[in-house]
């Protein structure tokens, strides 16, 4: 099996990050979500900005968890290739 393309890596990371955020918040509760992913020369960079109510979850922690989920999804993508 061949290695995933850069585009596949970025897409998997972004989907995982968004998926984690929306597993903790209703989409209508999220005021702003910005997931920036780059993958160049084998280096993955993930930045998650989240503006959401902190009544049930700490938005900063959720953003950190989303970035970790993105990295894990990419690790899984390469493990499966």
Instruction: State the residue range of the domain holding 25.
Output: 6-79
pLDDT band at 4 (very low <50, low <70, confident <90, very high): very high
Rounded to the nearest integer, the mean pLDDT of the chain is 96
Structure tokens at 40: 């160049």
Q: Quick check: is 16 in a domain?
A: yes
> In sequence order, which residues have a C-beta less than 8 Å from that of residue 73 and are 6 or more positions away?
12, 13, 15, 16
Q: What average pLDDT score do residues 46-65 get? A: 95
CATH number of residue 60's parent domain: 3.30.300.100
Query: Would you say the C-alpha torsion 38, 39, 41, 45 has a positive or negative sign?
Result: positive
Q: Is position 1 within any domain?
A: no
How much of the chain exceeds pLDDT 90, in percent?
93
Count of domains forming the chain? 1
**Does the pLDDT value for residue 81 go beyond 90?**
no
65 part of a folded domain: yes
pLDDT at position 55: 86
**Residue 45 domain-assigned (yes or no):** yes
Strands 32-40 and 43-51: antiparallel
* Residue 27 covered by a domain: yes
Q: What is the mean pLDDT of residues 9-29?
A: 97
């Amino acid at each position: 099996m061949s290695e995933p393309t850069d585009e596949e890596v970025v897409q998997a990371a972004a989907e995982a990050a968004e998926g984690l955020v929306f597993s903790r918040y209703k989409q209508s509760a999220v005021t702003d979500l910005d997931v920036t992913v780059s993958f160049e020369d084998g280096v993955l960079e993930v930045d998650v900005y989240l503006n959401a109510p902190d009544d049930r979850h700490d938005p900063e922690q959720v953003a950190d968890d989303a970035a970790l989920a993105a990295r894990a999804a990419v690790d899984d993508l390469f493990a499966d290739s």
